[in-house]
Structure 1
Amino acid sequence: MSTDNNPMSDPHDGSPDIIEGHRYDGIQEYDNPMPGWWTAIFWVTGIFGLLYIIGLNTGWVNTYEDDLESSLQQLEEVRQEFQSQNPVVTIDSTTLAAVVSDPARIAAGMELFSGQCAACHAPDGGGLIGPNLTDEFWIHGGSNMDIFEIIRVGVPEKGMAPWEAIYTAEERASLVAYVRSLVGTTPATAKEPQGEVYEGA
């Protein structure tokens, strides 16, 4: 910016491309062009915005709904693949009746029992904090399904955690097999009977 009495040197002196400035009340203001890269960005942004709007309305560009539908489809494919590799196991009384007489499942259950259950029920099932598992008395029912369900949901008010998130249905069935095998054995130290006599198979 310059005045008539205080002229500013022109940075474009000698350049044939100088843009003449404007003069107002003796004040001269030069109108310099924008940098080329700035102008290019402006035009590119405008063209991109125009193409994007056209694309959204013609299906050339995916909308949010399109992306959501695609993501849900991919999720469904992953879910189906997981289910095919990990089929849902249904445990019922018939299944457990076969499991409790399988020596391999009893052995698998013993390993699981030793790792988690022995701390409360004693390694031989005689009972410590938890009840004695070797007698015919049961607090929450003594059928195979009763035992399976107690292992699944636990007894939080008595300090027994639910094991559904830790052990699979097959592993819980193996635990039932081992617990059932303890009935009638003689532990080193048997805790007093608790609950009611269960006379079923």
Structure 2
Amino acid sequence: MRYYALAAMMIGLGVAAVHAQPQFYNTVDGSPLNFDDAMEEGRDTEAVKEFMKTGVNIYNENPDIMAEAEELYSTMCSGCHGHHAEGKIGPGLNDNYWTYPQNETDVGLFSTLYGGASGQMGPMWGSLTLDEMLMSMAWVRHLYTGDPETATWLTPEQQKSFTPYKPKGGEGEQS
């Protein structure tokens, strides 16, 4: 009987872990992030609600938001990270190397955007809404040049259809 109780408890813990909400921590000091500081606007979108519940960014590879996502990235991020996320003052964001390994996941990248990082990367909670952060992340993920199988933020279906980013011709053209 004791073994059945132990097995039931282990199964219950496994189910709870699968359904656990993502945890967000400051990239530099590891402290939990407080979303009370986030702008009110953009907190209650479907994308933000889903992300806070599951850690899945529904904007990834969503053609409906890509124009706005590109504009946000160009305005807020490209000055440091480059037009194609190749890196300038800030690190490159379009390949397999992550200055902060947690940025390989969307929860980690969101935590870095929201809470900031070392160097000149300050917290974005005062500059971008939570929804805009997710859109900016989707554009960064769209610029990924690596193997789709290593793009852990994509669903298996998205990985199958993802084409790594390659700028066409000149610096300003995109594929």
TM-score relative to the length of structure 1: 0.46
CA apart distance, 1:183: 0.8
**Counterpart amino acid of residue 114 in structure 1:** S
Supply the distance in 2 between the matched residues of 1:179 and 1:87 (Cα, whole angstroms): 22
The residue that corresponds to 1:127 in the other structure is 87
Supply the distance in 2 between the matched residues of 1:118 and 1:181 (Cα, whole angstroms): 14
CA apart distance, 1:170: 0.7
Q: Does 1:139 align with 2:91?
A: no
SS of 2:95's equivalent in the other structure is: coil
Cα distance, 1:132–1:99 mapped onto 2, change above 3 Å: same
The residue that corresponds to 1:148 in the other structure is 110
Cα distance, 1:94–1:108 mapped onto 2, change above 3 Å: farther
Whose relative contact order is higher, 1 or 2, with alpha carbons under 8 Å and at least 6 apart?
2
The equivalent position to 1:160 in structure 2, one of 113, 116, 121, is 121
CA apart distance, 1:95: 6.2
Deviations 1:10-59 (A, max 9, x none): xxxxxxxxxxxxxxxxxxxxxxxxxxxxxxxxxxxxxxxxxxxxxxxxxx
The residue that corresponds to 2:26 in the other structure is none
Q: Report the count of equivalent residues.
A: 104
Supply the distance in 2 between the matched residues of 1:176 and 1:200 (Cα, whole angstroms): 13
CA contact (8 A) 2:55 2:107 kept: no
| Larger radius of gyration between Structure 1 and Structure 2 | 1
Cα distance, 1:87–1:98 mapped onto 2, change above 3 Å: closer
CA apart distance, 1:98: 1.8
The equivalent position to 1:182 in structure 2, one of 143, 150, 153, is 143
CA contact (8 A) 1:96 1:173 kept: no
Q: Does 1:109 align with 2:69?
A: yes
Alignment of 1:61-72 (within 5 A): none
| Poorly superposed stretches of 4+, deviation over 4 Å | 86-89
CA apart distance, 1:96: 3.5
Cα distance, 1:87–1:125 mapped onto 2, change above 3 Å: closer
Identity of aligned residues (%): 26
Cα distance, 1:87–1:134 mapped onto 2, change above 3 Å: closer
Supply the distance in 1 between the matched residues of 2:59 and 2:139 (Cα, whole angstroms): 10
Cα distance, 1:106–1:146 mapped onto 2, change above 3 Å: farther
SS of 1:104's equivalent in the other structure is: coil
CA apart distance, 1:87: 4.2
Supply the distance in 2 between the matched residues of 1:106 and 1:146 (Cα, whole angstroms): 21
